[in-house]
Amino acid sequence: MTTSTLEQNVLTVMQERRSTKEYDTNAEISREELMELLEVTGQSPSAWNLQHWNFLAFHNKESQERLLPIAYNQQQIADASAVIAVLGDLRANENVDPVFEPAVNAGMLSDEIKQALNGQIQAAYESEQFGRDAAFTNASLAAMQFMLAAKAKGWDTCPIGGFSASSLIEEFEISDRYVPVMLITVGKGMKEARPSGRLDINDLVSFV
């Protein structure tokens, strides 16, 4: 694939992604393909490469029906082929060893640099607010990557912020290490999603 073709394909996916709320209830996504999408999602960038995300996959109608009232009975929750709850890791600073130790062992990173990075990370995480902000920011990067990967594979998605985070935590026994960031429905749209208007980019950009 030439660079120009790659660029065109990526930009097309980004431009054609639309939030889809009406799904074909007969469309099924395999666990293998869902895991493939999530594996690509795991390649998202993150601060210090700490990978501040975790995913709860609703991949059967029973679990989606349990989720339905938590998401204020939005029908797309039940009709989608799957729903992904994107969770932010409030204690991503605990990922230092699993993230950096393989690079140290492979000779790609010195232990001194690892220790210096660890010092920066642990100091930052002394602030509870920093940990929460980092969880939301970095998990949101992963959420966007999931939606773009899904579109590239022919699936439609919709990010959902309208749900009860406390009910989700209680019903599905989510560890207090994680904070719910958003839900994402994924499936085959019943019709082309309505284009949404966009503010003029010239009103949103300032050059300094």
Cβ atoms of 111 and 154 closer than 8 Å: no
Whole-number pLDDT of residue 195: 79
Whole-number pLDDT of residue 94: 98
**82 within a domain of the structure (yes/no):** yes
Cβ atoms of 188 and 27 closer than 8 Å: yes
Give the dihedral sign, CA 26/27/31/32: positive
Q: Which residues of the chain have pLDDT under 50?
A: none
pLDDT digits (tens, 9 = 90+) for 122-147: 999 999 999 999 999 999 999 999 99
Among 129, 138, 165, 124, CA closest to 41: 138
Cβ atoms of 68 and 161 closer than 8 Å: no
- The bridge status of strand 178-187 relative to strand 82-89 is antiparallel
**17 within a domain of the structure (yes/no):** no
| Enclosing domain of residue 35 | 22-188
SS3 7: helix
* Helix runs in the chain, H state only: 3-16, 31-41, 61-67, 76-79, 96-105, 111-124, 128-152, 165-171
- The bridge status of strand 156-160 relative to strand 53-58 is unpaired
**197 within a domain of the structure (yes/no):** no
**167 within a domain of the structure (yes/no):** yes
Among 65, 46, 84, CA closest to 185: 84
**92 within a domain of the structure (yes/no):** yes
**121 within a domain of the structure (yes/no):** yes
114 vs 109: CA distance, rounded Å: 7
Q: Listing from the earlier edge strand, what are the strands of the sheet with 156-160? A: 53-58, 82-89, 178-187, 156-160
User: Average pLDDT, whole number, for the chain?
Assistant: 96
Among 4, 158, 167, CA closest to 81: 158
Count: domains in the chain:
1
Locate 115 and state its tokens: 């220790």
**8 within a domain of the structure (yes/no):** no
**4 within a domain of the structure (yes/no):** no
Among 125, 149, 162, CA closest to 48: 125
CATH number for position 183: 3.40.109.10
Give me the phi and psi of 148, to 5 degrees please. Answer: -70, -40
